[in-house]
Chains A and B, each alone.
Chain A
């Protein structure tokens, strides 16, 4: 017994729970069709949600880029008036912003993938709903109640499977956008408070956090040296 048979069993039990609730074949037809249309609508809403979350992250990335440029400018000004301590703080914050920017870009890519998947899911479901609508009319017109029951069963099962599949894809997309919303809100707050450097102390792996700090410190030092040179050459002119 492998993955295939296990997943099939799990998945079908989910599907059957939905199907078992209806007994009258004529009712099944209309009920299924209504459910399909509802699901299609909610896939469309889910897609809009993913797109909106992606937009929001992109806006935040833009904000971080601006903030990063401002901090560099501030560091330069601080050095020009001999305040290396202030310059260092500004550059540390710039490093933190760069780290966040990196994370944001990955998430934007991630959401793009979800968007593509949901778009494909919507197209698949849409094609099946269309085909179900056609079959529904044929079944109603051509079959006796007993025959109709069998025919409807086949069509409805094929479609329920797609519906269950799309439902799971939507759930995954929803989970992703939820966690990103929380993160986005946290970044907004940090940008507003100007305390980005706190996020450098990454949760979880202490070694990675320490290495991150070391590389951020190295970047701060090299930025500092570069700006000092720029300020010196500017003052010499």
Chain B
């Protein structure tokens, strides 16, 4: 699976790393619903670290569509919440 971190680039994640990402992502999403900024930051940093650490970075010249997209690394809890309320999915 190709995962893009907005403002950063694309990574290729497979197998176990992808499973771990799903778990971290679900946890992070729960934090968006809460009011604990620090807890959200921790959860989001974990998601980002997983993608960067266990994914293989794609070269910039590769032209390939991402399967999944993550918001930019500096996204705050407030921005994340806004993102989801202004674009109900």
A interface with B by C-beta (< 8 Å): 1-12, 117, 121, 123-124, 127-128, 130-132, 135, 154-155, 157-159, 161, 165, 168-169, 172
Contacts and interface: CB of A to CB of B under 8 A. Distances in A.
A165 B70 CA distance: 11
Interface of B: 3-4, 6-7, 9, 21-22, 25-26, 28-29, 32, 44, 47, 59-72, 80, 83-84, 87, 89
Nearest to B29: A2
A223 to B, nearest CB: 37
Contact of B4 (A5, A117, A159, A161): A161
A107 to B, nearest CB: 15
Q: Is the interface of A mostly helix, strand, loop or mixed?
A: helix
Contacts of A154: 63-65
Nearest to B1: A4
B60 A123 contact: yes
A4 B21 contact: yes
A3 B28 contact: yes
B69 A7 contact: yes
Nearest to B9: A124
Contacts of B71: 3, 7
B61 A3 contact: no
A148 to B, nearest CB: 15
* Of B3, B7, B87, most A-chain CB atoms within 10 Å: B7
